[in-house]
Chains A and B, each alone.
Chain A
């Protein structure tokens, strides 16, 4: 079964450093997402991406965050200057939209980001 691939599985960085989280969505999917989950908390939406542009973003997704689909296969999340509170599991997801809005999101295995 096709799957969403995320790299790296773990990332440790110093506060203030830039990090890039990488994702390869399922090839025929049209919508791409980043979610995050702070330890012990619920999964939170960050951003969705369709047709090479951001379609929605949450208030968490501030100017420190950006997304790119640089080469038609990869989908990246960049955090320009990491803060301690950015420590979380970051999930990439992709989907196709079915009728009535049925949308089965396929999630990657996540990148655990630790900011020290």
Chain B
């Protein structure tokens, strides 16, 4: 089974509008972390936001917020007031803490295109 599922291969949004990128995850580990990374066309991976499984509040970082619904095992990324520079590939990733592994497992990504 996929540990991280991103069901939207591509998303379109107009500049200044908000957009939600979906991510669901699968783990039996009670302690885990969820991450979103942005990959622009230049190829680098840019950390955006983190949510810990025990965090009571949804994480926010500037225009990025994470809609964490633990019971549904979803960790959607919300980008408010989209900008042209937000056009990129977005990856959701998970780290399972109690498993003892230090690795991140990535989803397949969602390509976001922001139009003027």
Contact = CB atoms under 8 A, between A and B. Distances in A.
Contacts of B103: 33, 45, 48, 56, 58
B66 to A, nearest CB: 13
A44 B43 contact: no
Contacts of A31: 102
Interface residues of A, number: 30
Chief secondary structure at chain A's binding surface: strand
Q: In which size bucket is the chain B interface?
A: 20 to 34
Contacts of B25: none
A105 B107 contact: no
26 contacts: A41-B108, A42-B91, A42-B106, A42-B109, A43-B45, A44-B106, A45-B105, A48-B102, A48-B103, A95-B102, A97-B102, A100-B31, A101-B32, A101-B97, A102-B50, A103-B95, A103-B102, A103-B104, A104-B50, A105-B35, A105-B47, A107-B37, A107-B44, A107-B45, A109-B44, A110-B45
Interface of A: 31, 33, 35, 41-45, 48, 50, 55-56, 58, 89, 91, 93, 95, 97, 100-110, 112
